Amino acid sequence: MIDELLQDADVVAAASSLRADGSELDDAIARAAWSVIAEPGDGVAGAVISQFGSVEALRFALDDRRRGGSAGSASFPRADRALTEARDRWRLRGSTRGVRDALEGARDVGATLLLPGDASWPTSLDDLGANAPSALWVRGDASLLAPGPRLSIVGARASSSYGELIAAEISGDLADSGTVIVSGGAYGIDGAVHRAALGVGGSTVAFLAGGVDRAYPAGHASLFRRIAEQGAVVSELPCGAAPTKWRFLARNRLIAALGDATVVVEAGWRSGSLNTAGHASALGRPLGAVPGPVTSAASAGCHRLLREYDAVCVTSSADVRELCGHAAAAGPTAGADDPRQVRLLDSMSTRTAVTSAELSRRSGLAPDTVSSMLGLLELEGVVERAGEGWRRAGAKHSGG
């Protein structure tokens, strides 16, 4: 399939129009194909691409000989059964026409195709590992995805006037000072934060669970147009893809990964916003929650986050700045050039002590590595012991 794609004049022309400098066309076409054949967060696809590169991975994945192409000399680290099942499902979507339609659809709506390694690629998404997106489809200003101050704010669709007011105040204040506001474009809290950011002339990013050519919910069609003009509408799914329940849940991991911190304004006990909060916690991102009336079902999820998930109580934009500041405070102090120390510090809190075993689980680092780095960071005053656990030392300097 990949050779057919690379030789298809319409595919090449459409791909060229989506790349500002016309570079990396083979990679662009292959990654566009991966976004068509694989569902968001497909870890098997991510592992194959990581090992073989996007072009050879596609050949390896869809070639009936299975070991065709230069990838044949490599051994795939995943279980054969997982790979066999993945290849079966990929083949169902593996057509030149599907990729051509995706590329031409993006061209028709003025979207761009953002690839890992591009200047605007959000490197924070790389923390998702094999579950990171292979590419992003963007309508609007792709540079807003580049590293910079960003806050993810999510909440209930069935929001209250109280929730929308608090969400708008936090979003507007931070957007006015240059923070990019990230959310999911849904009714309720998501819509309130996007509008508030736009209202102060700030920037906002909306992650969709379908193609960037499809307004969902339909009632936000005009809002998405405004976001595309002043911010960015983004999806890992190709144009034409319909949103589904699973894709909303998968989309949440991108919202959590993109932000320096995640704040939940209102959420029911089983709200999808808690899914986003769970991703943020797993990634070691600071997590905040806005409290509400104890009688409000719309705030039950926020109270659950505060009680059970070590979320920080947030009541104003100043609280959010402090929350984001905790994430940045330790960064330049030590280990700024060591990605392992960055991962370790990102998995720590300034408020709650965490055992070294839990830090190893959160950061994905070996226990011995965590122990040795904690000792060095303690000597440098970056972290401190607290009972049987560890926390960032910034807590005692925050003035709180």
109 Cβ contact partners less than 8 Å away, ≥ 6 residues apart: 139, 212, 213, 239
User: What burial class does residue 293 get, using C-beta atoms within 10 Å of its C-beta: 0-12 exposed, 13-18 middle, 19+ buried?
Assistant: exposed
Across the chain, mean pLDDT equals 86
Residue whose pair of structure tokens reads 């797993």 in the numeric block: 282
| Higher per-residue pLDDT: 225 or 382 | 225
Residue 390: HSE in the Cβ half-sphere, 13 Å Cα cutoff? 24
Helix/strand number for the chain, H first, E second: 17, 11
* pLDDT 10s digits, 221-261: 999 999 999 999 999 999 999 999 999 999 999 999 999 99
3-state secondary structure of 80: helix
* CA gap 67, 310 in Å, rounded: 47
Structure confidence at residue 338 as a pLDDT band (50, 70, 90): low
In whole angstroms, give the CA distance from residue 91 to residue 265: 41
Q: Which uninterrupted H or E stretch holds 364?
A: none
Is 80 exceeded by the pLDDT of residue 159?
Answer: yes
pLDDT at 397: 35
Q: What is the pLDDT of residue 324?
A: 84
Average of per-residue pLDDT across 197-217: 95
CB 354 within 8 A of CB 387: no
What's the rounded mean pLDDT across residues 122-147?
94
How many other CB atoms are there within 10 angstroms of residue 18's CB atom?
23
Compute the distance between CA of residue 17 and CA of residue 106 in angstroms, rounded to an integer: 9
**Per-residue pLDDT tens for 289-333?**
999 999 999 999 999 999 988 899 999 999 999 998 744 443 433
Choose from 75-89, 169-183, 362-376 the range with maximum mean pLDDT: 169-183
Q: What is the pLDDT of residues 47-74, one digit of tens each?
A: 999 999 999 999 988 875 544 334 443 4
Q: Which of 42, 36, 27, 136 is CA-nearest to residue 95?
A: 36
Q: For the chain, list the domains and their CATH numbers.
A: 2-108 (no CATH), 147-203+242-326 (3.40.50.450), 332-397 (1.10.10.10)
Residues 6 or more apart whose Cβ sits within 8 Å of residue 350? 326, 329, 391, 392, 393, 394, 395, 398
Q: Which two tokens stand for residue 66?
A: 């299975």
Strand order in the sheet with 136-140: 112-114, 136-140, 232-235, 204-207, 180-183, 150-154, 261-264, 287-289, 312-313
Rounded to the nearest 10 degrees, the angle between the axes of helix 300-308 and helix 272-282 is 20
pLDDT at 337 over 70: no
**Whole-number Cα distances in Å, 346 to 50, 280, 283, 320, 322:** 24, 11, 8, 17, 15
Q: How is residue 399 annotated by DSSP? A: -
Structure token pair of residue 128: 């998702």
> What are the E-state strand segments in 180-284?
180-183, 204-207, 232-235, 261-264
pLDDT score for 383: 87
Q: Please, are residues 236 and 121 in contact by the beta-carbon 8 Å criterion?
A: no
H or E element that contains 313: strand 312-313
Q: Which pLDDT score, from 0 to 100, does residue 60 have?
A: 86
CB neighbours of 231 closer than 8 A, spacing ≥ 6? Answer: 140, 141, 144, 180, 194, 197, 198, 203, 204, 205, 206
3-class secondary-structure state, position 290: coil
Q: What is the pLDDT of residue 65?
A: 52
* Mean pLDDT of the 338-356 span: 78
Cis omega (within 30 of 0) on the bond before 77?
A: no
In single-letter form, the type of residue at position 64 comes to D
Only one residue has tokens 């500002």, namely 20
